[in-house]
Structure 1
């Protein structure tokens, strides 16, 4: 079961989501998307909240208002963090999450610490949390099937781009050949390369006797 929340602080609205428990978090860690940004309260247990970016976007493209919504949602879903002021929320791209043997269910590390960012949350802002909770919905998701469908579409899109590129290259090559043929054809009829029967070639066709 996954909980979805809609953040309308930007248009079009973006979706935040999180697993119902640590076992769902494990599936989200395993079958996340390259476009997913992971959020968690620093140094305390909390929900794993995700933001799914559009294809081609990076972590630098997240508006500050969306970051605040995500941070408030994470804080509100942390037993310890929700009771405290002045906490930090860490976030990073899904690809930077690292799962090693021996880690507990739902526990995660990072491949590169320098790619982990942090946002300070001075206190809980109820207006934000209440706004997000009003949009809350639950859904059963096949994480693996969703990821495989995403990867399949990416492969198809790349093939289509490659086909279009090859067609463009063929069209460009044809255009260059046609231009080269036209230049060659035109050069045969330039004034400099043409002769007439009035030119004195040193031979008079009437003097045959």
Structure 2
């Protein structure tokens, strides 16, 4: 079972989600996508909370209200963290999560510690937690199928972009050929068809010749 939440609507349409237990967390780790950001209470047990960012967005331009929503949800779903103030919540891109066979179920590490960010949560804010819980929806998704569908859509988009690029390149090639033909035609007109004043002079009869013809 996966729980889905909606971030504060003032900042746009963002989905936040988390697994029901550590076994579900394993599936979320396996089938995340590059737009997912993982949140967890630092050094304490807590739920694994994910934020699905928008395309092109990075971990460093997530708005503060969205970060607060994710951090509060993580704190509220930590047995220890929910009882104390001034805790740290760490977050990092899903792609930075490292999982090895020697790790326990639900346990993760990081490929690059420099991509891990920290947000300090002074206390639980019930207003935020209650608002998020009102948007809560429980679903049992086929995470593998969802991941494959997203990958297929991305591949189709890349192919479409490739076709569009080739189409533009072909149009540019044809336009260059057309312009070259126009320049060639203009050059032909000047070189072969146009008559210069010199040509006219050389081809005209002199006054004496005209007089001789007349006589």
Q: TM above 0.5, one fold?
A: yes
CA deviations on 1:54-82 (whole Å, 9 max, x unpaired) are 22221122111100110000000000000
The structure with the greater share of residues assigned to helix is: 2
Is this contact kept in 1: 2:35–2:93, CA < 8 A? yes
Q: Quick one: distance in 1 between partners of 2:13 and 2:196?
A: 77
Highest CA radius of gyration, 1 or 2? 2
User: Which residue matches 2:161?
Assistant: 161
User: Which residue matches 2:45?
Assistant: 45
What runs of 5+ residues in structure 2 fail to find an aligned partner? Answer: 211-215
Aligned-residue CA RMSD in angstroms?
Answer: 2.2
Give the SS at the match of 1:199. Answer: helix
User: Which residue matches 1:57?
Assistant: 57
User: Which residue matches 2:85?
Assistant: 85
Post-superposition offset of 1:184: 1.1
Is this contact kept in 2: 1:7–1:16, CA < 8 A? yes
In structure 2, relative to structure 1, the CA distance for the partners of 1:67 and 1:11 (3 Å cut) is closer
Give the SS at the match of 1:201. Answer: helix
Post-superposition offset of 1:9: 4.3
Q: Quick one: distance in 1 between partners of 2:173 and 2:191?
A: 30
TM-score by length of 1: 0.92
Does structure 1 residue 200 correspond to structure 2 residue 205? no
Is this contact kept in 1: 2:91–2:117, CA < 8 A? yes
In structure 2, relative to structure 1, the CA distance for the partners of 1:11 and 1:118 (3 Å cut) is closer
Post-superposition offset of 1:101: 1.6
In structure 2, relative to structure 1, the CA distance for the partners of 1:11 and 1:65 (3 Å cut) is closer
Q: Quick one: distance in 2 between partners of 1:136 and 1:21?
A: 16
Give the aligned length.
Answer: 207
What runs of 5+ residues in structure 1 fail to find an aligned partner? Answer: none
